[in-house]
Amino acid sequence: MNLIILLLPIIAIVLMFRSQKKRQSQMQQMQTSLEPGAGVRTIGGLYAQVKAVNDETVELEIAPGVVTHFTKSAIAAVLDPQEYDAIINGRPAEDELPESEDADDAPVEDKPLTLTKDSAEKGDAEGGAPASK
């Protein structure tokens, strides 16, 4: 019984150190795989493109012509080119859902919405907001 009480904490500690070492090796591998042109996400949630990789830092282009310096440990993930493009430029056209064919049957008026007091008094009958009480 005493042996089990002593072994359980030791096994738990070994498993925690093992998982921590595995995470560190994955992070080290990701940081060494950084190369110019790759899309990345920082630990702060900033999406950027790698411009240059130095010993301890990386240069990230966060907007056209805007280059910043980050430590390599600030990089949370290296993204696939398709994933980076989808995040930065929106979803690709092939991922969009096709429009239904019934949408062409009823014409849609292109009347702009207004938020004036006059449209609120007219109520919902003329496209304004419902009258408030």
**Model pLDDT, residue 106:** 54
HSE, CB side, 13 Å, CA atoms: give it for residue 42: 18
pLDDT of residue 29: 81
What is the average pLDDT value for the chain, to the nearest integer?
Answer: 77
- What digits encode the pLDDT tens for the residues 62-96? 999 999 999 988 998 888 888 888 888 886 555 55
Residue 89: predicted pLDDT? 80
Low-confidence residues of the chain: pLDDT under 70:
91-133
In this prediction, residue 35 carries a pLDDT of: 87
